[in-house]
Structure 1
Amino acid sequence: MSYPGLAESGHERYVMELLQAIRAFSDAMDRMHGGMKGDMDMNATDLAAMRMMIMREQRGETVSPHDVARHLRITTASTTKLLDRLEAAGHVERQPHPRDRRARVVVLTDTSRQEFYRHFGARLRGMRELADRYSDEELQLVTRFLDDISAVLDPQR
């Protein structure tokens, strides 16, 4: 694809190819999430909350309602509605915090976790297999680049 005033050689060409690849990646993620939203009968915010909980769970971290609100940048009232909706649908449970009995944590139900991985598991395996083809140094470079791009797109993260 050509853009007026932009040289199609050297560094500029590689930058444009990279930006086009980012856009294609973003479109692919949107299509994947769109399919998951429909299959799991969720809206985009519900799915974003579920993804955050899955990632935190994989790191062994607890998730509080406040964590959900901060991650999604929504009010506590909206967070309560979201968690009520996910709980009613059988996706999450609110449980006592393991170390602070005054607080609550939000956890995925086994059924929801299995459903999430049923929809996303094959793609995760494919991404993992693809990443295994790269050297440690290449993976570190890609990770640094993606972190930097994320900071540009979402400076408040």
Structure 2
Amino acid sequence: MSDKSERQGYWYGLESRKQIGAVDVLNALRDYRAAEAEMRRRTRASMGMGETDLVALRYLLEAERAGRDVGPKELAVRLGVTSASMTSLVDRLVRSGYVTREPHPTDRRALILRPTPGSDQEVRSTLGDMHARMMEAAETLSSEDSAVVVEFLRRMRKAIDGIAVS
């Protein structure tokens, strides 16, 4: 086991070789998550956005590609924010030039949120290099290794989803 694992390792017992391997896996997963969080922070800073703003914009871009209209109410539910927070978020995205508000085609009281034409290109150029590097790393895996990684990550998600927070 590396010194790094010993210094920064998870706190549960290291009695067996399998546990030491598991701790190494969890440390590598934690290191990946920290690196990804830092990359997202740099991306948000370069685009002048907060985390929720970037998630909202990506959701609007995905909806547009799927041919779906999204209103503020649907976006608020998706993001888990209040209507007041949604109003502030939409105001920021409109002011920054990433989103437009358009009248709903059939409900004159409702609005449709649309990403601006340049916002898709900016997100792609900002995140494109990261996505290419991640794809390059993933493509080095054999089919068998890919299946193991996917199954492991699914089990990790299930383990985390099962945690009740009071």
- Fold shared, TM-score > 0.5 on shorter chain: yes
Counterpart position of 1:86: 93
Q: Percent identity?
A: 31
Structure 1 residue 61, shift from structure 2 partner: 5.9
Report the more deviating stretch, 130-139 or 13-22.
130-139
Alignment pair present for 1:68 and 2:64: no
Counterpart position of 1:125: 132
Counterpart position of 2:106: 101
Q: Structure 1 stretches of 5 or more lacking a match?
A: none
Cα deviations by residue, 1:80-124 (Å, 9 ceiling, x for unpaired): 221121012111123456xx7335443321212111122111111
Structure-2 separation of matches of 1:112 and 1:86: 10
Inter-CA distance 54–146: structure 2 relative to 1 (3 Å threshold)? farther
Counterpart position of 1:37: 44
SS in 2 for 1:17: helix
Structure-2 separation of matches of 1:148 and 1:56: 29
Task: Tell me which amino acid in the other structure corresponds to 1:146.
Answer: L
Inter-CA distance 144–87: structure 2 relative to 1 (3 Å threshold)? farther
Task: Tell me which amino acid in the other structure corresponds to 1:108.
Answer: P
Structure 1 residue 16, shift from structure 2 partner: 0.8
SS in 1 for 2:113: strand
Structure-2 separation of matches of 1:118 and 1:9: 46
SS in 1 for 2:97: coil
Alignment pair present for 1:111 and 2:118: yes
Inter-CA distance 46–10: structure 2 relative to 1 (3 Å threshold)? same
Which structure has the greater CA radius of gyration?
2
Inter-CA distance 151–90: structure 2 relative to 1 (3 Å threshold)? farther
The TM-score, its normalising length taken from structure 1, stands at 0.77
Aligned match for 2:32, one of 17, 25, 39: 25
The TM-score, its normalising length taken from structure 2, stands at 0.73
Inter-CA distance 5–123: structure 2 relative to 1 (3 Å threshold)? closer
SS in 2 for 1:106: strand
